[in-house]
Amino acid sequence: MKKLLLAATALVALASSAGAADLAVKARPYAPPPPACAQFGGFWLGAQAGWAKYDHQWSDKDGWAGIVDDDLVGDRRNTKGGFAGGIGGGYNWQTGCTVFGVSIDYNWSSINAANTYTDGEGVITDTLTVSSRLKDFGTAQARTGIVVDNLLLYVTGGLAFARFNREWTLFDDGNGVTEVFSQKRTRWGGVVGVGTEWAINQNWSLKSEFLYMAFERDEVSFISPVHNPGFTQRFESQDSVWVSRIGLNYRFNYGPVVAKY
């Protein structure tokens, strides 16, 4: 009986040892689950291009054109569209699938919102030409959004600046006299918008944005040497810009692009 008990104990010990060895062979190292969405955290640089619609509302505060002809207009809105493109960069913080970020960009443009107005009477035609050219603009924005798979959806807003070259030309057809006043202005304002960014792979992403910029009211003046000598003439402008653009960004991060299902 004692020998039988010893033999049974040895068999149980041998079986337990074999089972433990088998578990050790079959064990796999723990792998954390893949992220539920693409990773946009870190620094990025990019370029963008698109279409901008520039709106210039102006007013002749002292009736400069009316001195020549009271039928000439004293306030109007000039609108023009054109190309705008530039470069940008920023940084994103990502928690789970929520992204917070900051960005800056600079853009070139040459959109001229201009029009010529006439008195529309008789053979003599007096004219007033008002021109405001959007030379360039830039923004400093904060944004927040969520990532769905590899697509970031976000809202954005912040500060904006733009440079304008303005010119007013008044032609007195009866006397053959032309008077021109021009100024270059830099205006500050605000920007709001929405956008998307699609992670193509680990580092590259394609973005699209729709922005609205509005700039502070601008008043300039000059002393007329011709049509109203010695008197100050004032002009007021209000500028706004709609921008629709796409861009390509390079993201300096090494995280996975999107979850594996």
Which residue, chain included where needed, has tokens 């723990």?
30
Beta-bridge partners for 214: 190, 240
Look-up: residue for tokens 């629709």? 244
pLDDT tens for the chain, 261 residues: list them. 444 444 444 444 445 555 544 544 454 565 555 568 899 999 999 999 999 999 999 999 988 888 888 888 888 999 999 999 999 999 999 999 999 999 999 999 999 999 999 886 667 788 999 999 999 999 999 999 999 999 999 999 999 999 999 999 999 887 888 899 999 999 999 999 999 999 999 899 999 999 999 999 999 888 888 877 888 889 999 999 999 999 999 999 755 555 444
Contacts made by residues 225-231, CB under 8 angstroms, sequence distance 24+? 225/179, 226/177, 226/179, 227/64, 227/67, 227/68, 227/170, 227/172, 227/177, 227/179, 228/64, 228/67, 231/62
Query: Closest Cα to residue 199, out of 144, 258, 252, 142?
Result: 258
Give the pLDDT score at 120.
65
Region at 131 (left for phi over 0; alpha for psi -120 to 50; beta for the rest) = beta
pTM: 0.82
What was the pLDDT predicted at 223?
Answer: 87
CA atoms of 44 and 58, how far apart (whole Å): 39
pLDDT of residue 6: 45
Supply the pLDDT for residue 225.
84
Cα angle 53, 54, 59; round to 5: 150
Predicted pLDDT of residue 260: 45
CA dist., res. 22 & res. 12, Å (int): 15
Cα 60–Cα 66–Cα 68 angle in degrees, nearest 5: 125
Residue with tokens 């921008």: 243
Domains located in the chain, CATH noted = 2-251 (2.40.160.20)
